[in-house]
Amino acid sequence: MTGWMGELEAATFLGLGAVAIWFHVRYPRLRPRTLVRAMVHVGLSFALFDLAPAGLHVCLLLPPPASVAAFVAVVLLPTLFYVLVSWLWLIAWLHDLGSSTPRGGHPAPAPGR
């Protein structure tokens, strides 16, 4: 897309990405506790996003100006947000797994003993 539509798409992704980062930082208790759950969230977000066209058909039952607003506000933005935040959770988990910070294990003897 060219012109203002491409700019609108980029602004939407940047805005939702900023909200996803804010959500990740602001609500740490809602993060998945395991890597498997983070992967399940990614799969579920893709499944919900795949159902967005069905939501469009439901929203088209409303009068024309309200149908577009309902689709964007109720279907498109929440599903896109969930896709972005689920990927953020997964990337955060993978980052934590790859960090070199010790997380326990067998205690090493103190130097000089």
104 belongs to a structural domain: no
User: Which pLDDT value is given to residue 102?
Assistant: 63
24 belongs to a structural domain: no
What percentage of the chain has pLDDT greater than the value 90?
Answer: 74
101 belongs to a structural domain: no
- Mean predicted confidence (pLDDT) in 33-46: 97
Please tell me the pTM assigned to this model.
Answer: 0.82
Q: Tokens in use for 111? A: 């130097």
Q: Count structural domains, the chain.
A: 1
CA distances from 13 to 21, 64, 76 (A): 12, 25, 12
pLDDT score of 101 more than 70? no
Domain range enclosing 76: 32-95
- 12 or 3, greater pLDDT: 12
CA distances from 91 to 94, 108, 110 (A): 5, 31, 35
Confidence bin at 111 (pLDDT 50/70/90): confident
18 belongs to a structural domain: no
